[in-house]
Amino acid sequence: MSDDHDHDHDHDHDHYDSPKSRRPRSEFELRTMALEAALVHNGLLATDAVDAFLEGIEHRMGPHNGARVVARAWIDPAFKARLLADGSASVAEMGLAGPEGDTVRVVENTVDTHNMVVCTLCSCYPWPLLGLPPIWYKSFAYRSRAVSEPRAVLAEFGVSLDPSVEVRVWDSSAEVRYLVLPQRPAGTDRLSEDELAALVTRNSMIGTAFADHPSTQG
Cα(94)–Cα(72) distance, integer angstroms: 10
The catalytic position among 88, 90, 124, 172 is 124
Among the listed residues 21, 26, 123, 173, the single catalytic one is 123
Task: Give the C-alpha separation, 132 to 216, whole Å.
Answer: 26
Pick the catalytic residue: 88, 90, 119, 204? 119
Q: Determine whether 192 is an active site residue.
A: no
Rounded to the nearest 10 degrees, what angle do helices 63-75 and 77-85 cross at? 120
Catalytic-residue membership of 122:
yes
Kindly tell me the burial class for residue 186, based on how many C-beta atoms sit within 10 Å of its own C-beta (0-12, 13-18, 19 or more).
Answer: exposed
Of 18, 122, 144, 192, which one is the catalytic site residue?
122
The residues, any chain, with a CB within 8 Å of residue 76's CB and separated by 6 or more, are none
Q: 2 catalytic, yes or no?
A: no
123 annotated active-site: yes
Coil, helix or strand at residue 80:
helix
Q: How many CA atoms lie within 13 A of 184 on its CB side?
A: 21
Q: Which residues are catalytic?
A: 119, 122-124
